[in-house]
Structure 1
Amino acid sequence: MTTGRIDLHQHLVPRVFAEAFAAAGGGHALPGWSPSGALAVMDEHAIATGVLSLSMPGTHFGDDAAARRLTEQVNDLQAELVKDRPDRFGMFATLPLPDVDGALAALAHADDVLKADGVILLANHRGTYLGDPAFDPVMAELDRRGTLVFIHPANLPGPAVPGLAPAVADFLLDTTRAAISMVLHGVPRRYPNVRMILSHAGGFVPYAAHRIAHLTGAIERVTPREGLGPGLNQETVLDDLRSFWFDTALSGSPTALPGLLAFARPDHVVFGSDWPFAPTETVGYFTDGLDAFPAIDAAGHAAIDRGNAEVLLPRLAG
């Protein structure tokens, strides 16, 4: 029987992406990455398999054709890693949004040819959030294919606060905005075959879910707004927010875990490390915190570490 964690929030930083990122002006430092380095960290933290994804800002730097080429290069590289070590690596393929046609072509290649485990979508693409009708063609195709989707934050569509790195707080808000947008636009109900994982314990979703449900116009007496999902009320908003999966990346703490576990369905919590953007010592801190959390019993740890992910990715069950 296969043991060890399945890490659904682990990134790769291939050279071809780092070069394109630098050429586009960068904006923040990229961590060092290599397959051997990834394996070393995984072994240190009992991670059997890391499902790799390209972090923000993705592959689109303003030119559709260049984004499509870079997307293909990154996805092909990931597929080679998985081919060489299918037991140790998986892949969430990148799509070159906001180029919808390019995203549809990349999705077909990733699913039909590369046999990707799923795709990564950023919470917003140049200020257009998931849930916006502009992305409906992509969501419809993801639904038709029954794709597993990993949702990762991007930079907020507004000025940054000087001295405050986006990863400290903005990323949590970005994920929360995307989740609310998708619920208000009926995405979980219109596309029920798309299974979606929210990064970093869902941002503020578990903590603020009841506030969100009450203040989004989702009480029965409020007239639904044009373009939003039909029949929204407090309970449907809460149900739709609970339909997401939540990873534990940077969230294995005595303050984050109680809210997450109180809100999320027990079978909808999965392990995440966020390496290499989370340094090795940070991965250890939050992984140790998860392991030591007293409210999780042995069965709960087994589910979070591996069992819940095996349901999402049956090829890793063993």
Structure 2
Amino acid sequence: MGRSSEEFVAQGDRAAAPVGHDLRVIAVEEHMSTEEFLGVAHGVDVAPGDEVEVDLLRAIERDPDLRTRLTDIDARLREMDALGQDMAVLSLNPPGVQAFPAADAVPLARLFNDALAEIVRRRPDRFGGLGTVTPQDPVAAAEEIERGMGPLGLNGVMINSHTGGRYLDEPEFGPLLAAAEANRAPIYLHPRAPSMPVYRDYGMPGAIWGYQAEAGLHAMRLILSGTLDRYPDLTIVLGHLGEGIPYWLRRIDNRHGFATRTIGAATPMPKLSLTPSEYFRRNMVITTSGIDDPDVLELALRAVGQDAIMFAIDYPYEDPAAAVTFLRDAPLSDDQRTAIAHRTAERVFGITGTRSG
């Protein structure tokens, strides 16, 4: 994009110098599990078509180092202290329970959410939590959203994109979306391996390409289907600085407008109340997870603004020290850095409090 760091921070009353280590830092895409959950989940049958992805994640969860990083909360606190990271919003390691038959997945979700809520209750100054739910049983998912946002005191839910190749814009998921809207539960729409076979070669199912393509596709389905007209108060969180969508917003609006005025669409299109970019800016918040790139962050700031961006590490799959260093050193104004580091997360996830001692 060609601008210097000085130009990047020159809008308004911006200061180029990085904020010091008194910055409150909340990371919001931080995966975990428990030994109890893994002991049960690794023995559960997997839905047809999801075997390769689940086998990979189970191999990761059996690796001694990664397993410790997922399950040892005390060790994570020590690492957070060393980094100057105040809080982590915890979520179940993907793909959660979405690859399991509903009869197994529903009690597993409750088991995990109970354990997560206990972690949050013990250290509310250090941890928030995103519950896991079962889109394969939308009514049970709706009940778990109510329980999570009510008696369990969690901060939202994480859904790992498609469930058996089905997407949240489809009518069957109405109870889930209605519960999320009614209970003010942000949905973190996390990637998983795409449902389409074309992504299965050359390492593309994972984070090299398939993850962002899958999550971006899911978000665009929510926008273009009219789902966000039916549920206007939903908040959808996208990682990786918006899964590529901010880069395309102007073209998406342009081509959507063209298609609605002509017969330029390949398939029928619902009539929308807003432009696609207006839904993106109204209903979606993005995080920095895995994108420690000042040029991409600059584009995201221009596309959605500082109050729609949150800091995330994507623990344990990215380097926490590198992510925190990027947050502290990126060419941002004090206000931008404060918004990204903690203020947006506090608003979106209902987090209160001050710096941990």
Taking structure 1 as the reference length, the TM-score comes to 0.89
Comparing 14-23 with 179-188, which one deviates more in the overlay?
14-23
Match of 2:167 among 113, 129, 140: 129
Amino acid at match of 1:94: T
Contact conserved, 2:146 with 2:179, CA < 8 A, in 1?
Answer: no
Q: Which residue of the partner structure matches residue 279 of structure 2?
A: 240
Contact conserved, 1:6 with 1:50, CA < 8 A, in 2?
Answer: yes
Contact conserved, 1:183 with 1:229, CA < 8 A, in 2?
Answer: no
TM-aligned CA distance change 1:229 to 1:45, over 3 Å: farther
Contact conserved, 1:3 with 1:48, CA < 8 A, in 2?
Answer: no
CA distance in 2, matches of 1:8, 1:100: 25
CA distance in 2, matches of 1:290, 1:112: 32
Contact conserved, 1:147 with 1:193, CA < 8 A, in 2?
Answer: no
Q: Which residue of the partner structure matches residue 176 of structure 2?
A: 138
Instruction: Please list, as runs of the form range in 1=range in 2, the aligned pairs for 1:46-125 lying within 5 A after superposition.
Output: 46-125=84-163
Instruction: Please list, as runs of the form range in 1=range in 2, the aligned pairs for 1:110-259 lying within 5 A after superposition.
Output: 110-159=148-197, 160-164=200-204, 166-216=206-256, 219-222=259-262, 228-231=270-273, 236-243=275-282, 244-259=284-299
CA distance in 2, matches of 1:238, 1:222: 20
CA distance in 2, matches of 1:270, 1:106: 25
- The DSSP-based 3-state class of the residue aligned with 2:147 is helix
CA distance in 2, matches of 1:226, 1:170: 26
What root-mean-square deviation, in Å, do the aligned CA atoms of Structure 1 and Structure 2 show? 2.3
Comparing 166-175 with 222-231, which one deviates more in the overlay?
222-231
1:27 counterpart = 2:68: no
Comparing 11-20 with 265-274, which one deviates more in the overlay?
11-20
TM-fit CA distance, 1:20: 4.2
CA distance in 1, matches of 2:93, 2:258: 33
CA distance in 2, matches of 1:213, 1:205: 11
Q: Which residue of the partner structure matches residue 287 of structure 1?
A: 324
TM-aligned CA distance change 1:315 to 1:290, over 3 Å: closer
Q: Which residue of the partner structure matches residue 18 of structure 1?
A: 38
Structure 1 segments, 4+ long, off by >6 Å, are: none
Amino acid at match of 1:4: R
TM-fit CA distance, 1:219: 4.5
TM-fit CA distance, 1:3: 5.7
1:6-44: per-residue Cα shift (whole Å, max 9, x none)?
A: 111111122233334433463212322210122123223
Gaps of at least 5 residues in structure 2 are: 1-21, 46-50
CA distance in 2, matches of 1:314, 1:206: 25
- The DSSP-based 3-state class of the residue aligned with 1:110 is helix
TM-aligned CA distance change 1:298 to 1:314, over 3 Å: same
1:247-278: per-residue Cα shift (whole Å, max 9, x none)?
A: 11111213421221221132110111111132
CA distance in 2, matches of 1:180, 1:299: 30
Q: Which residue of the partner structure matches residue 7 of structure 1?
A: 27
TM-fit CA distance, 1:212: 2.6
Contact conserved, 1:250 with 1:283, CA < 8 A, in 2?
Answer: no
Q: Which residue of the partner structure matches residue 302 of structure 1?
A: 338
Amino acid at match of 1:242: R
CA distance in 2, matches of 1:19, 1:74: 12
TM-aligned CA distance change 1:175 to 1:61, over 3 Å: closer
Q: Which has the higher contact order (CA 8 A, sep 6+)?
A: 2
CA distance in 2, matches of 1:187, 1:91: 26
1:115-158: per-residue Cα shift (whole Å, max 9, x none)?
A: 21111122211211222222122111211222222111111002
TM-aligned CA distance change 1:115 to 1:297, over 3 Å: same
Looking at CA atoms only, which structure, 1 or 2, has the larger radius of gyration?
2
Comparing 139-148 with 244-253, which one deviates more in the overlay?
139-148
TM-fit CA distance, 1:292: 2.1
Gaps of at least 5 residues in structure 1 are: none
